[in-house]
């Protein structure tokens, strides 16, 4: 290799390194800015709602001098800017205060409740993806047919019907009438003292410990709420898959593949779906994040001891430390999933690399 060629190669390598560093820096700036915005929103919500955090701790009949002393101890007499600085510093350290309802540190309660929500949302997303993607592909391939109309109706119902209403109907049918599923909750009382979870994911923990009766019981509890969430995820995923596939099936490479004599199955599932899978990564990630943050009603209906039910109970008892702490955790996970899906999209799509 000549000196000139070496200089050109080095220049390209340097430009690539600068582009990667710039992309990482932009990614970090977006993440930090978004997270600070989330903290700012939760902080000011905690200050404008008509609930006095001091009275929530002490009660309405506390003496005035005790109220004032507690207010100073909690830093509520400081200027808002200084309060926000303290709030951010504590939040970055995972300190969201103490729950009035449980008297535990909020982060301790969240560590116990969040795996239940994560397990429920993960299974719901798997159900929605495994069924929704093939349905969307079939609807796009057979556009205007009966299958297409059925898929579109499924999506319309998923978008229109309130999830708590479907949850109550599902309980009446599958639990009260058919008795196919277990009572609302996460595990029967008989297993509460004989089963020791390791990760907080009951299905995985039961499999790891080979407690098949616990696994069966946990599955009977989770399958109905997970299927309900999976249905709403399916409605979104199938609709977007159909849209992406319709776009791909009109591209020139599809016409060229058919001209070469490739089978329709290979063209659809091997070429069109492969290209449509790139934006589908973002769709599935957003669906997953939506189930994590939107499972409050589902957890309430099915008495699922996740973070959604934890926030609901805390809100009903004016436990704002728990409400804001849970909101920050869910918001942080939503931000992380969004940024990760965006990064994965850039890695999978060569057009973004070229840009």
Instruction: List pLDDT tens digits, range 32-62.
Output: 888 888 888 888 877 777 666 776 666 667 7
Backbone angles phi, psi at 240, to 5 degrees: -70, -35
CA distance to 234, 248, 253, 349, per residue, from 271 (Å): 23, 9, 9, 14
Domains of the chain, by residue range, sit at: 106-354
The full DSSP string for 187-242 is: S-HHHHTT---SSS-HHHHHHHTT-HHHHHHHHHHHHHHHHHHHHHHHHHHHHHHH
Per-residue pLDDT of the chain (355 residues; tens, 9 = 90+): 555 555 445 455 556 666 667 767 777 787 788 888 888 888 887 777 766 677 666 666 777 777 788 777 777 777 888 888 888 888 888 888 888 778 888 899 999 899 999 999 999 999 999 999 999 999 988 888 888 899 888 888 887 888 888 888 888 888 888 888 888 888 888 887 788 888 889 999 999 999 999 999 999 999 999 999 999 889 889 999 999 888 888 888 888 888 888 888 888 888 888 888 888 888 888 888 888 776 778 888 888 998 888 888 888 777 888 888 888 888 888 888 877 777 777 776 655 554 4
Q: Which residues fall within 8 angstroms of residue 279, CB to CB, at 6 or more apart?
A: 240, 244, 345
CATH superfamily of 106-354: MetI-like (1.10.3720.10)
**pLDDT tens digits, one per residue of 79-108:** 888 888 888 888 888 888 888 778 888 899
For the record, the structure tokens of 345 come out as 């999209």
């Amino acid at each position: 290799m000549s000196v000139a060629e070496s200089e050109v190669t080095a220049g390209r390598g340097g430009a690539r390194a600068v582009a990667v560093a710039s992309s990482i820096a932009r990614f970090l700036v977006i993440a930090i800015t978004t997270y600070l915005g989330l903290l700012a929103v939760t902080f000011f919500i905690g200050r404008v709602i008509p609930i006095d955090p001091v009275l929530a701790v002490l009660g309405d009949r506390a003496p005035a001098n005790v109220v004032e002393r507690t207010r100073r101890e909690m830093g509520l007499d400081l200027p808002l800017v200084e309060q926000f600085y303290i709030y951010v510093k504590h939040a970055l350290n995972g300190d969201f205060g103490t729950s009035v309802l449980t008297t535990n540190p909020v982060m301790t309660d969240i560590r116990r409740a969040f795996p239940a929500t994560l397990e429920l949302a993960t299974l719901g997303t798997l159900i929605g993806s495994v069924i929704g993607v093939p349905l969307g592909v079939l609807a796009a391939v057979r556009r205007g047919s009966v299958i297409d109309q059925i898929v579109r109706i499924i999506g319309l119902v998923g978008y229109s019907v309130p999830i708590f209403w479907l949850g109550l109907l599902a309980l009446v049918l599958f639990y009260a009438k058919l008795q196919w599923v277990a009572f609302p909750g996460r595990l029967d009382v008989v297993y509460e003292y004989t089963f020791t979870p390791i990760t907080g994911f009951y299905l995985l923990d039961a499999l790891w410990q080979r407690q098949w009766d616990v696994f069966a019981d946990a599955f009977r509890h989770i399958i109905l709420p997970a299927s309900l969430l999976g249905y709403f995820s399916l409605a979104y995923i199938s609709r977007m898959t159909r849209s992406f596939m319709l776009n791909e099936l009109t591209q020139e490479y599809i016409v060229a593949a058919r001209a070469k004599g490739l089978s329709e199955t290979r063209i659809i599932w091997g070429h069109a779906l492969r290209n449509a899978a790139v934006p589908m990564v973002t769709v599935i990630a957003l669906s997953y994040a939506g189930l994590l943050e939107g499972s409050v009603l589902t957890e309430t209906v099915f008495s699922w001891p996740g973070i959604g039910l934890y926030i609901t109970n805390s809100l009903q008892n004016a436990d704002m430390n728990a409400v804001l702490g849970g909101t920050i955790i869910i918001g942080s996970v939503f931000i992380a999933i969004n940024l990760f899906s965006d990064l994965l999209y850039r890695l999978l799509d060569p057009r973004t690399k070229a840009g």
